[in-house]
Structure 1
Amino acid sequence: MASGRALRFVSTVFMLNFCCSSVTSLYFHLAEGEQKCFMESIPYGTLVKGDYWTQLYDEEEEELSAATQDLSMHVTVKAPKDQLVLSQQNGSKGRFRFTSSRYGEHWICLRPNSLERPLSAGRMLAVHLNIRAGERANNYTEIQSRNRITTMLQLSVRRLYEQVQQIQSELDYDVIRRERFRTVNHNTNMWIFWWPVVRSIYVVLFIMFLTGSW
């Protein structure tokens, strides 16, 4: 009976916190040699996974076709202060993953790296990109199989614990962003307050200099 109530409690918490994880799905076009970057604001210690697949897009016919076998995609990830987190090369379909080592904006960039046969005129690459951050990036089926967690309650408690950690990390990041905003706001207000005073003193001194009335 107690076990049933615990399961219902865990399920309720899951539903309430379902939106706390970040999932981003993108579709975009890339010309040959072009690079596109996307910014993700990520808390510290957050697992991020991404997967992509490409197709060829004919602008005149507005049709999609399978990508060529010689296509390779170069993926780079940079943390704040331009710190390189990931640099890897896959084929026309691939995956990448990293764990953030600091708070802030991370840039995820994709660039087609090598084509033995250049794309003909009017053709581009159509890229499908999925990015999952936080709890959504974890494969709980794989975790259950690897660690031989046999009961649903054990797995649910573990998942709930990781969700709580993710929420705490996001809250900590929120505090840092609010503090940065308060600092910028304070500096701006001080500049607005002192600038007329400084300007007035400068005008008075300039007039006194011109008139020689020291």
Structure 2
Amino acid sequence: MKMSCFFGILTFITCVHFSFGLYFHIAETERKCFIEEVPDETTVIVNYKVELYDPKSGGFMPSSPGIGMHVEVRDSDDKIILSRVYSSEGRISFTSHTPGEHVICMYSNSTAWFSGSQLRVHLDIQVGEHAIDYANVAQKEKLTELQLRIRQLLDQVEQITKEQNYQRYREERFRQTSESTNSRVLWWSIAQTVVLLCMGFWQMRHLKSFFEAKKLV
């Protein structure tokens, strides 16, 4: 019992928040996009549910079967890694192959099925070990509670390692950008100095020629 409590507390302390739930309203021609920073080789699961606005009750009700959502996912290199039409309620899963910002965009698959009404989309994005169904894992692999806790801790340590590698990647990219910017600023300053020296030299030559022509010197 004490060991179980210990692992529970340790799990709580080492737990990193990699999921969020929200809902948003979307019109029939509107497109909503979300940016999620994801390390490489990390599983991302997107759960969503669409509700249709009911003008009679002034609330939202489950949408009709014909209404679906077009989901598009782009990686940090702006490459499409997922693009397809899903039903009004579903679960989307993809694995990142490059670290960085992944853009998840959603929009309705038709502009006529709900006659301009508003949709409410419930969205839940889970990243890393939060995307793993440990209850299903325990049932399939027949793990005890202690073994399951250890499995969760190992997955969390792996995810933390990926996050640390991603932060190092971001720091390296930032350093490269800073060095490139500093180099450009330096060369721009040198170019400005050269131009000013050339202009000054030309003006001196021009004034000297002018004074000699006027026989002032």
| Category of TM-score, reference length = shorter chain | 0.7 to 0.9
Amino acid of the structure 1 residue aligned with 2:171: R
Instruction: Quote the offset at 1:212 in angstroms.
Output: 3.4
Question: What's the RMSD between the two structures over aligned residues?
Answer: 2.3
Among candidates 95, 101, 105, match of residue 99 of structure 1: 95
Among candidates 34, 37, 51, match of residue 41 of structure 1: 37
**Residues 64-213 of structure 1: matches in 2 within 5 Å?**
64-114=60-110, 117-120=113-116, 123-149=117-143, 151-212=144-205
Aligned residues with identical type, % of pairs:
33
Instruction: Quote the offset at 1:192 in angstroms.
Output: 3.7
Query: What CA deviation, in whole Å up to 9, does each residue of 1:148-187 have, x standing for no partner?
Result: 22x1111111111111100000000000101111222223
Q: Secondary structure at the match of 1:39?
A: strand
Query: What CA deviation, in whole Å up to 9, does each residue of 1:62-96 have, x standing for no partner?
Result: 53233222101111111121222222322111110
TM-score (structure 1 length as normaliser) = 0.86
Work out which of the two has the higher radius of gyration on C-alpha atoms and give 1 or 2.
2
Which segments of 5 or more consecutive residues in structure 1 lack a partner in the other structure? Answer: none
1:10 maps to which residue?
7
Tell whether the 8 Å contact from 1:40 to 1:106 is kept in structure 2 after alignment: yes
Q: Secondary structure at the match of 1:71?
A: coil
Range that drifts further, 198-207 or 46-55: 198-207
Tell whether the 8 Å contact from 2:23 to 2:123 is kept in structure 1 after alignment: yes
Tell whether the 8 Å contact from 1:21 to 1:135 is kept in structure 2 after alignment: no
Determine the C-alpha separation between the residues in 2 that align with 1:94 and 1:54.
Answer: 9
Determine the C-alpha separation between the residues in 2 that align with 1:65 and 1:167.
Answer: 40
Tell whether the 8 Å contact from 2:44 to 2:125 is kept in structure 1 after alignment: yes
TM-score (structure 2 length as normaliser) = 0.85
Determine the C-alpha separation between the residues in 2 that align with 1:33 and 1:109.
Answer: 13
Tell whether the 8 Å contact from 2:45 to 2:93 is kept in structure 1 after alignment: yes
Range that drifts further, 52-61 or 193-202: 52-61
